[in-house]
Amino acid sequence: MNQATAVFGGGCFWCLEAIFSELQGVLEVVPGYSGGHLENPTYEQVCTDQTGHAEVVKITYNREVISYEDLLRIFFSTHDPTTLNRQGEDVGTQYRSVIFYGSAEERLTAEKIKGEMAALWDDPIVTEIVPLEKFYPAEEYHRDYFRRNPQQSYCALVIAPKVAKFRAQFQERLKAR
């Protein structure tokens, strides 16, 4: 199998995990933190907006089934990459739109797709494209959060509509359910 990883931040990691985990070719999605200065941050520390970390997901995928380019297109289509340090009511640098790349090739691809996707938005895309230095997995209770807590108010009011829109837009890319 031709495995690779991608690390994206686009608001709350619960939303991104719920979306990317449904895609064919995605083997695992792990919520976590990246881009900050504190070693082994906790959720509580990241939420202070003082650590510099973004809430992110680390996506392990099979390149024979889904490409990095397709993951990027889905990323830019399923959150608002034009709002600086926020997604909806979630405000702070931890909610910034960011792509952490692991190679020069990934950086170039991310820049290319960012340029392509700009046509979808009225405002300029503010998504950062920066090197991945470290990824810290989030605490266990964040994993599969939407699936395990569908009735929780944030899940029902914010994540569920995003997932429904994603499913309608990308139904041909979804895993068999």
Q: For residue 73, what are its two tokens?
A: 């297109």
Q: Find the catalytic residue in 12, 15, 47, 155.
A: 12
Q: Residue 88: what pLDDT?
A: 85
All structural domains of the chain with their residue ranges = 3-173
pLDDT of 150 > 70? The answer is yes
Mean of pLDDT values over 30-59? 96
Work out the percent of the chain whose per-residue pLDDT is above 70.
99
* The architecture CATH gives domain 3-173: 2-Layer Sandwich (3.30)
Question: CA angle, 94 as apex, 154 and 174 as ends, to 5°?
Answer: 55
Q: Residue 174: what pLDDT?
A: 82
Torsion of CA 64, 67, 68, 72, to 10 degrees: -150
Q: Residue 173: what pLDDT?
A: 84
User: Would residue 155 show up in a list of annotated catalytic residues for this protein?
Assistant: no
pLDDT of 1 > 80? The answer is no
Tens digits of per-residue pLDDT, 79-138? Answer: 999 999 998 888 999 999 999 999 999 999 999 999 999 988 999 999 999 999 999 999
User: Own/partner pairs for 92-96, CB < 8 Å, 24+ apart?
Assistant: 92/47, 92/49, 93/49, 93/52, 93/54, 94/33, 94/46, 94/47, 94/49, 94/51, 94/53, 94/54, 94/55, 95/9, 95/11, 95/12, 95/54, 95/55, 96/9, 96/54, 96/128
Tens digits of per-residue pLDDT, 21-31? Answer: 999 999 999 99
* 173 or 6, which is more confident: 6
Q: Residue 177: what pLDDT?
A: 62
Torsion of CA 133, 47, 5, 125, to 10 degrees: -90
**Out of 6-10, 128-132, 161-165, which region has the weakest mean confidence (pLDDT)?**
161-165
Do 7 and 100 form a contact (C-beta atoms < 8 A)?
A: yes
